[in-house]
Chain A
Amino acid sequence: MFSKTYTMVFVVGVTMVSALVLATAATALKPRQELNARLDKMKSILKAMALVKAGEALTGEELEKRFQENVELVFVDYRGTVDSAYKDPKHNQDKLLKNLGLAEKLPAGIPDKKGLDTTKGIEKLRLIVYVQKSRPGGSAAAYVIPLLGRGLWGPIHGYLCLDGKDLNTVTGVIFLTEKETPGLGKEIEKPKFQEQFKGKLIFDENGLLRSIRVIKGKVDPTHPDARHQVDGVSGATITCNSVTKMLRKDLFLYAPYFRKLRGSDGTKP
């Protein structure tokens, strides 16, 4: 039949052709794919700011234009101080956090007393904030921060939008998943789940960071913590817990910045 040599050569040949075809396709399509990813990210941020309505179709140019006109990028360090000199077009926050071992290991519970001072290299951390430009002369209309967490089957991420005046009320949130189960974990991508976050508060009356918890079942509106809770998705407990952890971690990271803004404005609830 076929000799062993032939078999080897054939298999190597097929593999090489396949690799060539895929490498060529991937390289040729990469610019478009990266552009799509960038536009998609801008769209999510604008959605969190309610500057893009659900189902609204925009061309790439329209999106870029709307983003440029409305959003300003600000970078802060772990103490919440703005770093206006920081310019890194390839800013990869997830990677920075991973390198510092902070991607998931932030202290559980609400760590107001503990700080990150002891984490090696923390001085170099820069966190991005998307500020919604207000009318000239006024304060910012809203602040959007990126979220990153680990769902049940894969990463989950999103954007949280805070009211520019009190830096406490959530005015919008977007959650995105990659591998969560449709109908269960993937439900967090639906407006029905995300709408719940509107009006919730992240700080309490004493200025303590409470973040927002996704609870099992329905929130009891008479409970004192109701302003910091939303209903969970039934059958998707783990994904919902991931959302809670993600919010807690990222709000903890940005809390110093929010506190600085609240302090100077004197806008405490």
Chain B
Amino acid sequence: MSASAEKGESLFSPENRKAFTDPLLDGNNVTVNSLGICSALAVTTLLEASVVMGISVTVVIAFSNLIVSLLRRFIPATVRMVVELVVIATMVILVDQVLKAYNYEVSKQLSVFVGLIITNCIVMGRLEAFAMHNRPWPSLLDGLGAGVGYGLVIVIIGFFRELCGAGSLWGYQIIPQAAYEAGYVNNGMMVLAPGAFLMLGLIIWLHRTVNKELVEKD
């Protein structure tokens, strides 16, 4: 348990800022690491659900990262993943319970998907890749960055899926009734998984166009 030399490091030093921005942008877990895709497709039919899911996942990753980082030197290697799972599952159930108590409507919409955060690869991924080898504060920042990175992607997907697939945003009808009567039809594919996949592909394409470094050299 070495008292590291960087104990005096400022809270928002370049290293710590990088811990936050890395999983958010260049190392975005969804677009670059292809993690967390399942829920990215499943809950994004509605914008509000996507936002709540993004916040829930951020809370789970951030606090799981924090707790595991605090415990990292005490966890025996033989039970490492088991302990990580207990931490993740506890956080997810907590989030689920709080949602049921304070935002019942949305918790009904998200139904099983909140529970499925336990299986979201991003959470376990960050614990293994970062929290087990870094101090608590950077781990917390990494968790927040990873969660916000994931949240950004699903909110964008949710925005377009709800708009094109249901003609509404956050439950409010955007496309006027007159358009439907004139012949406009909601894009049914956007409501189903293929539509989400396409949106995701477009976002990955956009990300790699903006950040050429992500493109592998052939």
Contacts and interface: CB of A to CB of B under 8 A. Distances in A.
Nearest to A15: B86
B210 interface: no
A2 B78 CA distance: 9
Interface string B108-140: 100110000000000000000000000000000
A179 B76 contact: no
A183 B192 contact: yes
A59 interface: no
Interface stretch (A18-26, A65-73, A98-106): A18-26
Contact of A33 (B93, B94, B97): B97
A7 B78 contact: yes
Interface of B is mostly: helix
B86 A14 contact: yes
Interface residues of B, number: 29
A40 B104 contact: yes
B82 A11 contact: yes
Q: Which of A2, A14, A22, A26 has the most CB of B within 10 A?
A: A14
Contacts of B75: 10
A202 B176 CA distance: 35
A18 to B, nearest CB: 4
A29 B100 contact: yes
Contacts of B42: 182
Nearest to A11: B79
A30 to B, nearest CB: 8
A193 to B, nearest CB: 14
Contacts of B79: 7, 10-11
Contact of B94 (A25, A37, A39): A25
A21 B94 CA distance: 9
B76 A26 contact: no
B98 interface: yes
A7 B79 CA distance: 8
A36 B101 contact: yes
A38 B97 CA distance: 16
Contacts of A136: none
A265 interface: no
A29 B191 contact: no
Q: A-side binding surface: helix, strand, loop or mixed?
A: helix
Interface in A154-193: 178-179, 182-184
A108 interface: no
B77 interface: yes
Contacts of B112: 178-179
Contacts of A22: 90, 93-94, 97
A26 B90 contact: no
A55 B77 contact: no
A182 B94 contact: no
A7 B76 CA distance: 6
Contact of B76 (A6, A18, A40): A6
A10 to B, nearest CB: 6
A26 B98 CA distance: 9
Contacts of A36: 100-101, 104
Interface in B35-77: 42, 45, 71, 74-77
A40 B106 CA distance: 12
A20 to B, nearest CB: 10
A183 B161 CA distance: 12
A209 to B, nearest CB: 32
A21 B93 CA distance: 10
Contacts of A183: 45, 191-192
B171 interface: yes
B97 A25 contact: yes
Given A21-B94, A22-B94, A183-B45, A29 B101 contact: yes
Given A1-B77, A7-B76, A179-B112, A18 B98 contact: no
A10 B94 contact: no
Given A7-B76, A18-B87, 17 more contacts: A1-B77, A10-B76, A10-B79, A14-B71, A14-B87, A21-B90, A22-B90, A22-B97, A25-B94, A29-B97, A29-B100, A32-B102, A37-B104, A40-B104, A40-B108, A55-B171, A183-B191
7 contacts: A10-B75, A14-B83, A18-B89, A21-B94, A22-B94, A29-B101, A33-B100
Interface of B: 42, 45, 71, 74-79, 82-83, 86-87, 89-90, 93-94, 97-98, 100-102, 104, 108, 111-112, 171, 191-192
